[in-house]
Amino acid sequence: MSKKILVGIDGSPQGDKAFAFALDLARQAGGRLHCCAVVYGAEIEMAEASEREPLVERRRQRVNKHLQALLESTSGQVSTPVAHVLEGHPVEQLLELAEREKVDHIVVGHRSKGLFERLLMGSVAKRVVDFARCTVTVVR
């Protein structure tokens, strides 16, 4: 049985490292790679209703472009990865997708944040580790 591996992509260098790690893991295990990018941000949450949709659409386009570039780089290395672009809080979306797809392993990047940002937002990696029902690897 092949493994299902889910990697969180956020456009950061740490997210790209997590993608490379997950790709290697999928290649070694003969597994299926699921790549998830989540459209989210404080500015979206705080935007006026009339401004929210254009903001989400711009963010979605940027995320899609980055995700497609990563997926094109996998050509021939693993079976075609599955791309998921979701909207909402990254932790909730990653965990729900992991349950829905019955993944065996989640890979996320670790981003260094300031104290204020950690207190306000929390760490996506830490919360995924705390609440996932499968193996989680945090890549630095």
Q: List the domain boundaries for the chain.
A: 4-139
Mean pLDDT over 13-32 rounds to 92
- Closest by CA position to 97, among listed 24, 8, 15: 8
Mean pLDDT over 35-59 rounds to 81
Quick one: pLDDT at residue 87?
87
Mean pLDDT over 66-80 rounds to 81
Quick one: pLDDT at residue 54?
86
Mean pLDDT over 78-98 rounds to 90
For 12, list phi and psi in degrees, rounded to 5. -90, 160
**DSSP H helix total and E strand total for the chain:** 6, 5
Mean pLDDT over 10-38 rounds to 92
List, in sequence order, every residue forming a beta bridge with 137; answer none if it has no partner: 107
- Residue 12: DSSP 8-state: S
Quick one: pLDDT at residue 116?
57
Q: How many CB atoms lie within 10 A of CB 21?
A: 18
Q: Give percent above pLDDT 90 in the chain.
A: 44
Per residue in 102-135, pLDDT (tens digit) is 999 999 998 766 665 555 556 889 999 999 999 9
Quick one: pLDDT at residue 28?
92
Mean pLDDT over 17-42 rounds to 90
**Residue 60 Rama label (left phi>0; alpha psi -120 to 50; beta):** alpha
List, in sequence order, every residue forming a beta bridge with 34; answer none if it has no partner: 6, 82
* CATH code 3.30.9.90 for 4-139: no
Quick one: pLDDT at residue 114?
61
- Residue 51: DSSP 8-state: H
